[in-house]
Structure 1
Amino acid sequence: MRTKAFLILFFFPEFFLSLNSYATVYKVTVWLNAFDQNEKTGYNFVTEFAGLVYSELTKGHLILWDTYKRENRLDAAAVSSLEKSSGVSFLHIQNLYIYEYWNVKRSKTKIQPYGFVFTTRGKGDKEVSFGFLEYKDIKKYLNSYMQTNANGPMSISFLQALNVKEYTFNLIQVNNEKITDKSRSDFILQSAFAGKYKPKVEIDARKLILYKIVDDYQPGQKQSTKTLLLSQISRYFKEDPNLIFSYADTFRLNQVLLNNFKINELIVAEILDHNRQYLINEPVSIIFNSGGYYSSPISFEIFKKLPITVNLRDASEILKEKSFDFTLFRINSQEIKPEESSFYISALKTFHWNELTTLVYKMKEQGK
């Protein structure tokens, strides 16, 4: 142990000694590559953040600077001109550099970003820089939410992602020292983060799923639960067409369709959770489709109060029980192909929720 301590002190004296002082602030640069991001997080912070910045830039809400020295401003027109001359899009940047202050104490580390740089490769494989963005300028937009795939949480904001730091990054500079040695980088990260970095961030790890129930009844067949369910909902609304517009104000049905009103498809939005033993589902809203016309979402809380029954059971109970065939077509922001629905339904039951895309790939390969 003494030998290790001596070696650390010998090779890394500045950082080691600072950890014994009350607090030391470091200027740090970390590098995120879009192609290195871990799919298990459910999002690619580089591409998502580029999308947010580009959106606010084109609205005139942000400006960029040519470098961190902030000498020349880059507005949306300047960025567009750079895109044309380089042959690459800001939305497809490969590299994001985050400039941060690390306040390192013996038992706690605090991190505060102060800027971002966006680069990629353009024509002739030349490095193209889209400039520097100050953290204070983007801060008020960071509470907006990112798009997440099936592996990710139901919702996570840009600010939350910056705080939890689950994205893949490389430490490339501390103060004036460029970090090129992995052992040096690992030591600094271990010293600054191990047991010290504890952001007060709660991520909602549940999934938001959308599934649809389609009436595929054929004459002569025994009516299934879903056929009876759709039939009873249709009957309830058909008895008083005004109810359709009361609960679904964007429904655009002509008089002919109203006279022959029938729900062909029901779309249910549901929040899914688990306790590692079984799934816990909570319907949020429903949308119905009649003749190709879709209603606006109807809150499930409202739907529960409607006197619709199937075989003496409330329709809302049947929806929550979900003992019928359905097609899963979205998890979080990810569209699910019809042929992959059954695979994702099975994968959700494994509770390995940050590996759903990998599990589905393996299931398809094995032909399950």
Structure 2
Amino acid sequence: MTAAGLDARVVVERPGFRLDAAVRAEPGETVAVMGPSGAGKSTLLGVLAGLVELGEGHVRLGERELDRGPKPRVRTTPSRRGIVLLAQEPRLFPHLTAHENIAFGPRVHGAPKEVAGGEADEWLWRVGLAGMGGRRPAELSGGQQQRVALARALATSPAVLLLDEPLTSLDTETAGDVRALLHEQLVATRTTAVVATHDAVDAVSLARTLVVLEEGRVTQSGPVRAVLAAPASRFAAAVAGLNRVVGTVRAGRWGQGPLVLAAEGAASLPADGHEVAAVFRPSSVEIESVVDDTWTSALRLEPAAAREGEWLARITRLEHTPAGVRVRTAEPEVAVDLPADRAAELGLVAGVPVRLRLAASDVRLIPVS
């Protein structure tokens, strides 16, 4: 099937939850959808695949209208959409071999047995499983099963491939290999794809466009690089590995609680009193211990007028990172990255007050819509 563009506006209402989201993908384009658990990503993909009924809106694939509602109602069954959904679990037929699983799709679409078998052989080679077609799913590793599932999905030449957290259950190395394979095959087949994921690496390596979905609505969308560079929410900032603190600009100064910064480039910012987000890297924040190890005493000893870019904060928790330790602090909520030996040297533990420093030159100020 030839690659086709996808245009959808999806509204689904359930008790306590409403999904109202739009997604567009040009022919051959991959769009990533990111959001916290419960944001509606799987529901959105379910509607696109025809597995969840659309309450309001439309789903169009090229010139075809697959769904429309509420009136007049249009609904196309999943088997006639040309859209394939690949979920977290491979869901291979356990009684069929890898070769038979892949050949199943073309056979269902009317391909003769010999043609379907030849296509299965080709796809086994493409996904790096040549010579393993005779094995059943139970004899394959998780990564190998996901490769077979991908081959089975693409062997039907879908107009759109939907991927719902396809790498979540895989270890880091295997996920990296399958991610590279996904990118290679999506480019080679020019398949339009929508990838729901929690991982920014998936968005960066697979997609051109990123849609951020939170609490059932799109909070930001655009080119992946642009969204990650200027996150419009705390979730998007966390995905991008950045701090995002919302404050206000007053008299040439940006502030939020005890944190005050010189607002460089303030002429381009909104008037005093408007909300502005300060975005900065956790590695840009300097941290040091204070003389007193209790929050009350530290506050009592704090000078009445703290210097710009310097403030007291209380540690809420410490997290392990590949590069060392991430220190989470409150009021405002800021993450600080530092080597593990430095964290041990400072004696950092939850509840302890610390002094933080941040240069204005390390901060980008972004007006809040």
Q: Which has the higher strand share?
A: 2
Whether the TM-score (by the shorter chain) exceeds 0.5 is: no
TM-score range, shorter chain: under 0.3
- TM-score normalised according to structure 2 size: 0.25
Please say which structure displays the higher CA radius of gyration: 1
Q: Which has the higher helix share?
A: 1
